[in-house]
Amino acid sequence: MNMAVDPRRTPDLAPAALELAGIRRSFDEGDRQLHILNGANLRIEAGEMVALVAPSGTGKSTLLHIAGLLERPDEGDVFLGPVNCSDLSDDQRTAIRRNDIGFVYQFHHLLPEFTAQENIMMPQMIRGLPKKVAAERADELLNYLRLGERGKHRPSELSGGEQQRVAVARAVANAPRILLLDEPTGNLDPTTAKYVFDALAALVRASGVATLFATHNLELAARMDRAITLKDGLVQPL
């Protein structure tokens, strides 16, 4: 793995927690090609919360998938710290996703047969942590998110807001460097959405994780460090 700082990055700046440089991505649709991202650039520092606000179909999910190493761009590079992830093998990218990137989606995707605590333990145990250590970390996060009494409940026994807070806890259980969220409060009522966001923001501030939060909620976006949008395939200030 090449740890050298790449000259293609933003000049004269230390490596950001996450940097996208010159990202291009197109898709074939019948006999035409859709250009979704046209050289998009983005830097997010450790501990920074960035809101991504853009209409559907402009490339939000594509940008998140590329940032999260779930797909490769046609052109451009993704850096996590000093590491150019574009140079890595699929196995190396998978290891980074498992250890250094947390994901939260609009639908919580909790495993229904497991309790809240077990859902949070799962990624830690996949990483190789002992069961006891994983359980202690899960309980710590549940207590932090005011879910300490809900740890033994399965997802079907939790409210929508509780399920999403468990999903947030699961995403940060391995202490990722990057947290990517795709409309995590989209299915929640305004009061519950604010509560989930407050809990998430507290975790982000405490851990220093770099966060990219896709949302249509302008009130939540205004509470983050800055807000960006996508226009003509480029990242621009909102």
The pLDDT tens digits of the residues spanning 92-150 come to 999 999 889 999 887 778 999 999 999 999 999 998 999 999 999 999 999 988 899 99
Q: Measured between alpha carbons, how far is 236 from 238 in angstroms, rounded to an integer? A: 6
Question: What is the predicted pLDDT for the residue at 3?
Answer: 40
Enter the tokens of residue 106. Answer: 């609009």
Question: What is the predicted pLDDT for the residue at 235?
Answer: 96
- pLDDT > 70 in the chain, percent: 95
Q: Measured between alpha carbons, how far is 24 from 226 in angstroms, rounded to an integer? A: 23
Q: What's the one-letter identity of residue 60? A: K
The pLDDT tens digits of the residues spanning 61-105 come to 999 999 999 999 999 999 999 999 988 999 999 999 988 999 988
CB-based contact 66:73 (threshold 8 Å) = yes
Q: Does domain 18-237 have CATH number 3.10.20.30?
A: no
Q: Measured between alpha carbons, how far is 199 from 154 in angstroms, rounded to an integer? A: 20
The closest of 205, 211, 174 to 16, measured between CA atoms, is 211
- 5 pLDDT exceeds 50? no
CB-based contact 69:237 (threshold 8 Å) = no
Question: What is the predicted pLDDT for the residue at 33?
Answer: 85
Q: What's the one-letter identity of residue 96? A: I
> pLDDT tier at 55 (50, 70, 90 boundaries)?
confident
Question: What is the predicted pLDDT for the residue at 44?
Answer: 96
Give the DSSP letter of residue 216: S
Question: What is the predicted pLDDT for the residue at 13?
Answer: 66
Q: What is the mean pLDDT of the chain?
A: 89
Instruction: State the average pLDDT over residues 198-224.
Output: 89
